[in-house]
């Protein structure tokens, strides 16, 4: 199940990377892309939470990954939906993506390299 959560969150990251590249190139994209990215991220983080809660002995790195993804999700919602509604500074976009990447690395270690 950790692999499924990893695949879902990787898709969220790929979509977010595409949005970041579009912003860096000063291209526009439909406004619902951000909402779709956030909604799919929330559903994927919920999937990870359910996976952790169903595991009899979840590895500590799974909890760390959940915490990092939760911080990235909360930060993204706060920064991009409340504070910077019309466009966020590049630093915040990069920091949001970096936090998500750290979560993916932690989750990849749990999904692919931990012994069951």
The least confident of 5-14, 72-81, 94-103 is: 72-81
Mapping DSSP onto H, E and C, the string for 39-102 reads HHHHHHHHHHHHHHHHCCCCCHHHHHHHHHHHHHHHHHHHHHHHHCCCCCCHHHHHHHHHHHHH
User: Domain limits at 18?
Assistant: 2-113
For the stretch 85-115, pLDDT in tens is 777 788 999 999 999 999 999 999 999 998 6
Q: What is the DSSP letter of 114?
A: S
Q: For 34-53, what is each residue's pLDDT tens digit?
A: 999 999 999 999 999 999 99
Q: What is the pLDDT of residue 12?
A: 97
Q: For the chain, how many structural domains are there in total?
A: 1
pTM for the full predicted model: 0.90
Look at residue 74 in the predicted model and tell me its pLDDT: 95
């Amino acid at each position: 199940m950790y692999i499924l959560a990893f695949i879902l969150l990787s898709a969220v990251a790929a979509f977010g990377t595409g949005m970041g590249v579009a912003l860096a190139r000063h291209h526009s994209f439909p406004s619902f892309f951000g909402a779709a990215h956030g909604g799919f991220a929330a559903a994927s983080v919920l999937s990870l939470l359910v996976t952790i809660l169903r595991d009899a002995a979840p590895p500590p790195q799974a909890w760390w990954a959940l915490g990092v993804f939760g911080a990235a999700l909360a930060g993204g919602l706060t920064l991009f939906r409340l504070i910077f509604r019309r466009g966020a500074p590049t630093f915040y976009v990069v920091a949001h993506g970096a936090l998500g990447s750290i979560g993916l690395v932690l989750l990849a270690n749990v999904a692919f390299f931990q012994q069951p």
